[in-house]
Amino acid sequence: MVSNVRERVAGLLGLPLFAILSSDVEDPQVLGPHLNDHLDYMIGLEKRGLLFGSGPFKNSGGHLTGGGLTIVRAPTFEDARRLAEQDPFVKNGLRSFEVRSWTLSEGSLTLTINFSDQSVKVV
């Protein structure tokens, strides 16, 4: 049984990533003036191939609850921490963060590319 578990775990993806969990330090309303800078920063990370995924936390009613999750590709924990520190929300003292090493092992991604109109759909 143990060897079977080891074999199964060895066959998982095992992609090393870093999860950045952010929490609002201030009232979320004060984020507004910095939102464009935050989005520019996140999109910049995406374009550089460093951003795996990012977004805000919401409650069961779909309302923002403050804070969010950002998953980055970085060579080291310290590199991931530096990326988090450069977020305009963090630089302006509006959010605190915690970095955790994370390994993507299971899951799926469905991607549809329509050549006729060059549209892409992610499911």
Q: So what's the pLDDT on residue 1? A: 59
Specify whether the CB–CB gap between 88 and 37 falls below 8 A. yes
Consecutive 10-residue averages of pLDDT for the chain (123 residues): 81 94 84 93 96 95 93 98 97 96 94 90 88
d(CA 17, CA 101): 6
CATH 3.30.70.1060 fits 13-122, yes or no: yes
Count of all residues that appear for the chain in the document = 123
Specify whether the CB–CB gap between 20 and 102 falls below 8 A. no
Q: So what's the pLDDT on residue 2? A: 61
